[in-house]
Amino acid sequence: MKVVLFGNVTVEPGKHLWHLIKDLIPKGKIESCQTIDSLEKELCQYKAESTVAVLLCSSKRDLTNLVASRFLFDDIPIILVLPDRKAKTVSEGHKLYPRYLTL
């Protein structure tokens, strides 16, 4: 299994999430992406392998960009971390059909 983490892992909470995942997933089976372009590249590269996407949205702009690129996540389980608890944000997040959603 491959885990692809989208988000800024140089600042909290991304740094914390990176360390949690890094401790659970074997070395070489986790990739970090900070842009949609790098995320697309990683997901296309590992499409044949079972892949899980962990999407850390630090802003509504991140979420909007991910929703606009939702075609990337066909048949890929998503763990989605939203930037806030507002109803509109949660509604937008559900457009990605995440397996797990947290705030």
pTM: 0.90
| Residues 6 or more apart whose Cβ sits within 8 Å of residue 14 | 7, 8, 56, 58
Does domain 2-102 bear CATH number 3.40.50?
A: yes
User: What pLDDT, in 10s, does the model give residues 29-67?
Assistant: 888 899 999 998 888 876 656 889 999 998 899 999 999
24 vs 17, 28, 30, CA distance in Å?
11, 12, 10
**Considering Cα of 85, then 90, then 91, then 92, what sign does the dihedral take?**
positive
CB atoms within 10 A of CB 31: 18
Domain ranges of the chain: 2-102
